[in-house]
Amino acid sequence: MKARITAQTISTQRLLLRPLLAEDTAALFSIYGDEETTRFWPGLPLADRAEAEAMVRNDLRLQAAEEAAYWCLVLASSGRMIGRISMFHMDRMQQRAELGFAMHVKFRRKGYMREALQALLETCFTDFKLHRIEADVDLENRASLALLKGLGFREEGRLQGRWQKAGQRRDSLFLGLLRPEWQRLKAL
């Protein structure tokens, strides 16, 4: 069965993961316009609201074409958006996709991203029937690497000079998680 990934609403204890909407531009600008939040993101921080609007338009186009799926991480208690998760480079035939995520720096180290990713991985492996999820992480992004490894992702290789940011070449680690491994870890 081919994987079909659509951004559907997922609830956790503290979060609501919901599909990206056009009206999320301001919240996404506060996340992707922040220099510390985007420190390990391959792109530069968004310079202004127009860049955020262009990003949202493009993401909604990709989502409508089922080429990517985007979830906004929203605090259930306040309705405030604090981050985003994306699934992209989707290959339905091979049942795999790449994972990306960003959390506003003010909300890090509270377990929100772990909570969100656990719920999304369950959905991806169970509902979407993915076999493999991949992640490409800046080598210096120790927090994201620890998070992914804690969820069962394994290092598969170092990609030298993978990204260029602010005139500097950056290495990244490629990680992967297979459905059988996810199921095994869940059973422990």
| DSSP structure string for 67-93 | S-EEEEEEETTT--EEEEEEEEEEETT
Which H/E stretch holds residue 12? none
- At residue 107, the 3 state secondary structure works out as helix
pLDDT of residue 1: 39
pLDDT of residue 8: 85
Q: Which two tokens stand for residue 41?
A: 């993101």
Residue pair 152/177 in contact by the 8 Å Cβ criterion: yes
Residue pair 130/94 in contact by the 8 Å Cβ criterion: no
pLDDT of residue 92: 84
pLDDT of residue 167: 83
pLDDT of residue 2: 45
Q: In what order do the strands lie in the sheet with 132-138?
A: 10-11, 15-19, 69-75, 81-91, 96-103, 132-138, 168-178, 154-165
pTM, rounded to two decimals: 0.92
Residue with token string 């290495």 = 171
Q: Domain 10-187 - what CATH class?
A: alpha beta
Q: Indicate the pairing of strand 81-91 with strand 69-75.
A: antiparallel
pLDDT of residue 90: 86
> pLDDT by residue for the chain (188 residues), tens digit each?
345 567 789 999 999 999 999 999 999 999 999 898 888 888 888 999 999 999 999 999 999 988 899 999 999 999 999 999 999 998 888 999 999 999 999 999 999 999 999 999 999 999 889 999 999 999 999 999 999 999 999 999 999 999 888 888 999 999 999 999 999 998 88
Task: List alpha helices for the chain, DSSP H.
Answer: 25-32, 49-64, 112-126, 142-150, 179-187
pLDDT of residue 66: 86
